[in-house]
Amino acid sequence: PDLGRRFAERKRCADLECSMLMCRGKAMRDFKGPDCRFVNFKKGEAVYVYYKLIGKSTELWAGSVGSDFGYFPKDLLEINHNYSNEELELPTDETDFVCF
């Protein structure tokens, strides 16, 4: 199927609303995303992960840095705390990939 602006068809979350934190990590280097769907961060900043894309784009996770929320490459994060070992597989929604 044509996903259009979607990065993936499915995601893994800790709860049905994808509102619970999955894990926290430390940014291993600076990241500036290509558009407003991405979250920017500096090396050493804390990044909080809410869901992980699976399927077409397994390298992107969604999370927050301060009050900013967006996608980032999972390889840039060193996980230092897991909040949940529960992972539910859910379909992505069109609203997962819009800019706010």
Question: In the numeric block, which tokens belong to residue 30?
Answer: 């600076």
Q: Which domains does the chain have, with CATH numbers?
A: 12-96 (2.30.30.40)
pLDDT tens for residues 41-81?
A: 999 999 999 999 997 766 899 999 999 999 999 999 999 99
Q: Please measure the distance between the N-terminal and C-terminal CA atoms of the chain and give it in whole angstroms.
A: 25
Please say whether the beta carbons of 62 and 49 come within 8 A: yes
The chain-wide mean pLDDT, for the chain, equals 90
Looking at residue 1, its pLDDT comes to: 38
88-91 vs 10-13, strand pairing mode = antiparallel
What is the reported pTM? 0.90
Looking at residue 57, its pLDDT comes to: 66
Question: In the numeric block, which tokens belong to residue 3?
Answer: 């996903």
Q: Say which residue, 4 or 50, is predicted with more confidence.
A: 50
Q: Is the Cα dihedral 75, 100, 32, 9 positive or negative?
A: positive
What is the rounded distance in angstroms from the CA atom of residue 40 to the CA atom of residue 72? Answer: 8
